[in-house]
């Protein structure tokens, strides 16, 4: 278990943590949340021992292995598969050790068996595949891949090494939707403790069972996934606000009495008594709650539909065709999410629609006066780091007044100080806001967003959802954030097999298809399952219901055991035996839950396939 006891730490005189405490029970999956800049990454560095505490202590069990992703793997000639295999340093050292001592040989073999060393290559390959690398990719050297892809290799390495405490800092920022969904599933089954910094609500709802909230320099542990935490926090804020209001009314009443009577002889003593009461009253402040930082997208004038019509389109790079047979239509009120595994052509389609790639064959008709805004994550890195946001707007809008520039920046959550700060000194979220402002400056009729939520905290992501909801132009969206896609997109296009087709199911169906390793959408499946009889269908539906009931029961048991393990008194020295018993039961229930969920998914897939043929 991880114990954090009354720790304090400051950066450049600014306190990030003040007598903060928390206990993370062994085997728990915990999401670490808090606004940008509150010190989440600093807390990780303190846990790893990279920074020295000013006071307090962080204690871990002796011998606990801590793992995380600090940087991308080097661009060397080692294959991806060998790079991941080498990440388990203990296994690599045992395999390389040479000895004639029979006892030592027996120890090595026993430990290799404990590490499941003989299935290592298969496990490493499975992890790499889940993160988007096919068999051919796995044999290629790391130098063949860009920095973002090498970050995935680094993530694969730490997952393969299976540390006792896994610390992950925004791991989905360099994953696509498919990789993010695979990671959710993997972390939910991970056999050890996980602490993950994330602003991805889907991951925080499906992969963790508790939330550690960093706010006001304190840590608060909440049982349950993110949505449950959000409800509890809203209730806490409401109570704090009500108490603060009551106290303010009482304070005003006392101050009024003092102001009226402090200089009157017959009332002076009572007035002094009330002054002392005022001094003793500790202010009840609501937890830090900055107002939702809105985005204000300028709305375009309406154009006659369609704004883009693509017939028999083919596009690619040079003479290489990447996408073909494109028959697509976009109207100004469309909200379209692009689905498809990495490398299938989502970015290629985005570049075609934005005019960055040509139509090699076929034709694309665009509405007259059509304006297109384009945001891609790499554009954040292409901002001028030695200029301020005001400098960027001065270049784009030289004839506008400085007050107009500031108003535009304010509309994207960049205040007066940030407007005059060099871009190189801004946070990732602030840079993303500036890039979004530049992409929407001309009030585009079509806004193409490629991973817009990277570096945005949860409140900013909610603000983006609100802005896109109010925006009157069309939206093409590529994102690993399921929450964003679910709230914004009303049409889904699947980019697969070198073309683009409408995906008629919903996002949850797409998620199930990915997690069940379905190779293609059901409507394009080459082999159709055998039609079942009515009685067989009834039996299959019954099996699905029973499987779901087992999962619900095991989830209830898990929650009850998690609540038991969260009790501080259980960790007293006199109750170590009881603690070990409950931890063993928790591990058994998690193993059973994993198996029950697998059976449920299998039954669901069989039922869906059978009903398709009915």
Mean pLDDT highest for which of 59-73, 242-256, 428-442? 428-442
pLDDT of residue 35: 81
Q: Which of 32-46, 272-286, 330-344, 378-392 has the lowest mean pLDDT?
A: 272-286
Stretch 559-568: mean pLDDT:
79
Stretch 117-132: mean pLDDT:
86
Of 332, 348, 309, 307, the residue nearest 499 (C-alpha):
348
pLDDT of residue 513: 83
Q: Which of 193-197, 207-211, 562-566 has the lowest mean pLDDT?
A: 562-566
The structure tokens listed for 214 are 């960093």
Q: Is residue 82's pLDDT more than 80?
A: yes
Cβ-count burial of 84 within 10 angstroms (0-12 exposed, 13-18 middle, 19+ buried)? Answer: buried
Q: Is residue 275's pLDDT more than 70?
A: no
pLDDT of residue 422: 93
Question: Looking only at Cα atoms, what is the longest distance across the chain?
Answer: 99
Stretch 139-162: mean pLDDT:
91
Of 484, 490, 482, the residue nearest 510 (C-alpha):
482
Q: Is residue 262's pLDDT more than 90?
A: no
Decide if 450 contacts 475 (C-beta within 8 A). Answer: no
Spell 596-606 as b/e; 16+ CB within 10 A means b: bbebbeebbbe
pLDDT of residue 434: 93
At residue 323, the 3 state secondary structure works out as strand
Query: How far from each other are the two terminal CA atoms of the chain, in whole angstroms?
Result: 52
Q: Is residue 230's pLDDT more than 80?
A: yes
CA separation for the pair 294, 415 (Å, rounded): 12
pLDDT of residue 479: 92
CA separation for the pair 553, 589 (Å, rounded): 10
Q: Is residue 525's pLDDT more than 50?
A: no
Mean pLDDT highest for which of 78-82, 254-258, 590-594? 78-82
pLDDT of residue 293: 56
For residue 282, the tally of other CB atoms under 10 A from its CB is: 6
pLDDT of residue 582: 78
The structure tokens listed for 407 are 């108003």
Q: What is the pLDDT of residues 403-458, one digit of tens each?
A: 999 999 988 888 888 999 999 888 888 888 999 999 999 999 999 999 998 888 88
Decide if 613 contacts 528 (C-beta within 8 A). Answer: yes
Stretch 124-134: mean pLDDT:
91
Q: Find residue 9's DSSP bridge partners.
A: 17
214 — pLDDT class (breaks 50, 70, 90): very high
pLDDT of residue 204: 92
The structure tokens listed for 123 are 């496990």
Mean model confidence pLDDT for the chain: 83
Q: Is residue 467's pLDDT more than 60?
A: yes
Backbone phi and psi for residue 263, each to the nearest 5 degrees, phi listed first:
-105, 10
pLDDT of residue 362: 95
290 — pLDDT class (breaks 50, 70, 90): very low
CA separation for the pair 508, 527 (Å, rounded): 23
At residue 181, the 3 state secondary structure works out as helix
The structure tokens listed for 337 are 């999410």
Strands 193-197 and 165-169, sheet pairing? parallel
CA dihedral 476, 482, 484, 488 (to 10 degrees): 60
612 — pLDDT class (breaks 50, 70, 90): low
pLDDT of residue 526: 36
Alpha-carbon Rg for the chain in angstroms:
28
Q: Is residue 274's pLDDT more than 80?
A: no
Q: Find residue 492's DSSP bridge partners.
A: 337
The structure tokens listed for 10 are 């400051």
Q: What is the pLDDT of residues 170-206, one digit of tens each?
A: 999 888 888 899 999 999 889 899 999 998 888 999 9
Q: Is residue 287's pLDDT more than 50?
A: no
Share of the chain above pLDDT 70, in %: 84
pLDDT of residue 529: 46
The structure tokens listed for 121 are 């290559």
pLDDT of residue 57: 94
Stretch 265-282: mean pLDDT:
61
Q: What is the pLDDT of residues 370-401, one digit of tens each?
A: 999 999 877 777 789 899 999 999 999 999 99
């Amino acid at each position: 278990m991880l114990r954090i006891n009354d720790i304090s730490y400051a950066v450049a005189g600014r306190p990030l943590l003040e007598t903060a405490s928390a206990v993370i029970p062994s085997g728990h999956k915990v999401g670490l949340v808090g606004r940008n800049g509150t010190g989440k990454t600093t807390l990780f560095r303190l846990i790893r021992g990279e920074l020295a505490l000013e006071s307090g202590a962080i204690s871990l069990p002796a011998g606990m292995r801590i793992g995380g992703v600090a940087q991308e793997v080097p661009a060397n000639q080692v294959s991806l598969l060998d790079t991941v295999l080498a990440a388990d340093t203990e296994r690599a050292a045992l395999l390389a050790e040479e000895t004639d001592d029979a006892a030592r040989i027996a120890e090595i073999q026993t430990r290799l068996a404990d590490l499941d060393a003989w299935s290592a290559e298969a496990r490493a390959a499975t992890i790499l595949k889940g993160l988007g690398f096919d068999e051919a990719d796995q044999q290629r050297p790391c130098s063949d891949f860009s920095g973002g892809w090498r970050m995935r290799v680094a993530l694969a390495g730490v997952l393969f090494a299976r540390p006792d405490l896994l610390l992950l800092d925004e791991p989905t920022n360099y994953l696509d939707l498919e990789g993010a969904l695979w990671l959710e599933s993997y972390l939910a089954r991970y056999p050890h403790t996980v602490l993950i910094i994330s602003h991805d609500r889907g991951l925080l709802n499906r992969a963790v069972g508790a939330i550690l909230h960093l706010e006001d320099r304190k840590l608060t542990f909440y049982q349950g996934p993110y949505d449950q935490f959000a409800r509890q926090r809203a209730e806490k804020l409401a109570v704090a606000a009500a108490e603060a209001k009551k106290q303010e009314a009482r304070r005003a009443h006392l101050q009024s009495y003092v102001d009226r009577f402090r200089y009157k002889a017959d009332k002076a003593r009572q007035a002094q008594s009330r002054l002392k009461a005022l001094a003793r009253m500790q202010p009840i402040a609501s937890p830090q709650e900055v107002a939702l930082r809105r985005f204000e997208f300028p709305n375009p004038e309406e154009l006659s539909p369609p704004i883009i019509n693509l017939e028999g389109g083919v596009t690619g790079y040079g003479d290489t065709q990447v996408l073909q047979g494109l028959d697509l239509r976009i109207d100004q009120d469309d909200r379209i999410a692009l689905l498809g595994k990495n490398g299938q052509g989502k970015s290629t389609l985005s570049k075609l629609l934005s005019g960055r790639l040509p139509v090699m064959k076929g034709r694309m008709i665009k509405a007259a006066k059509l304006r297109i805004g384009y945001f891609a994550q790499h554009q954040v890195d292409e901002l001028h780091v030695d200029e301020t946001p005001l400098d960027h707007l001065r270049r784009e809008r030289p004839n506008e007044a400085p007050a107009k520039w500031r108003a535009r920046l304010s509309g994207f959550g960049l205040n007066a100080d940030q407007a005059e700060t060099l871009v190189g000194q801004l946070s990732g979220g602030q840079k993303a806001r500036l890039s979004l402002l530049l992409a929407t400056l001309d009030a585009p009729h079509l806004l193409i967003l490629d991973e817009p939520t990277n570096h945005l905290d949860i409140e900013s992501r909610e603000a983006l959802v609100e802005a896109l909801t109010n925006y009157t132009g069309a939206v093409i969206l590529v994102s690993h954030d399921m929450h964003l896609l679910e709230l914004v997109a009303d049409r889904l296009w699947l980019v697969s097999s070198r073309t683009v087709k409408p995906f008629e199911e919903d996002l949850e169906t797409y998620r199930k298809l990915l997690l069940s390793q379905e190779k293609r959408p059901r409507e394009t499946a080459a082999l159709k399952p055998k039609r079942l009889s009515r009685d067989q269908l009834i039996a299959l539906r019954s099996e699905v219901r029973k499987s779901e009931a087992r999962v619900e029961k095991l989830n209830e048991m898990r929650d009850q055991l998690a609540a038991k393990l969260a009790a501080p008194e259980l960790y007293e020295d006199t109750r170590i035996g009881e603690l070990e018993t409950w931890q063993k039961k928790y591990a058994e229930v998690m193993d059973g839950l994993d198996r029950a969920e697998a059976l449920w998914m299998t039954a669901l897939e069989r039922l869906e396939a059978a009903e398709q043929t009915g």
